[in-house]
Amino acid sequence: MSHDLTSVKVAALVANGFQRDQVLEVQEFLHRSGATATLVSAGAKDLPETGKAGEPLGSVPLESADEASFDALLLPDGQANADTLSRDSVAIEFIRSFLTASKPVGAMGQGVNLLLAANGVSCRRITRDATLKNLIQKAGGIWVNELVATDPDLVTVTDSRLIDSFCEAFAQSCFEPRAGSEASLHTD
């Protein structure tokens, strides 16, 4: 399936320990669809300057990032990444701002832990391995035993190796009409 995401701007929230190859694969998919991805860094070191195809990959420090500058948020996998970001109040507030604005959020693997830290799972369909089932349910989320789960404005995946399925679902979330309007994030 092909999605025209021209003009869609995606923030990828990262700290040390993020899954670099995974982020570059999602960035490449988004780039082919017309979207741009920017790394929003909470002190991450050695950020890639280009994507897999050599296109520039921008980055901004978390402290100067503004949710209003982006259309969607990507929360990549990586245990150290999730641990660092879940203890960062600026990062948690950044995540909450996307959830509050009903903008698409995609969380891969450990990225789901950031949704939990941001109190962002209540009444939402979430997939993650069964070890987090009770935590998700305790936080008011609806744990589903699916490889990729979609909920309005939210896409989660159990395993980051399912990147193609995740990218398709995340792109669809970015493309679909927003909250009762006929407009999508895609603009000409």
Domain that holds residue 148: 9-175
Is 46 domain-assigned? Answer: yes
Q: Which residues of 109-120 are buried (b: 16+ CB within 10 A; e: fewer)?
A: bbbbbbbbbbeb
Is 133 domain-assigned? Answer: yes
Residue 159 tokens, joined: 């395993």
Structural domains of the chain, count = 1
Is 92 domain-assigned? Answer: yes
Is 53 domain-assigned? Answer: yes
Q: What is the CATH number of the domain that holds 152?
A: 3.40.50.880
Residue 30, CB half-sphere, CA atoms under 13 Å: how many? 30
Contact 3, 171 (CB under 8 A): yes
pTM for the full predicted model: 0.90
In order along its 188 residues, the chain shows pLDDT tens digits of 567 888 899 999 999 988 888 889 999 998 889 898 999 999 888 788 887 877 777 899 999 999 999 999 999 999 999 999 999 999 999 999 999 999 999 999 999 999 999 999 999 999 998 889 999 999 999 999 999 999 989 999 988 788 999 999 999 998 874 433 444 444 44
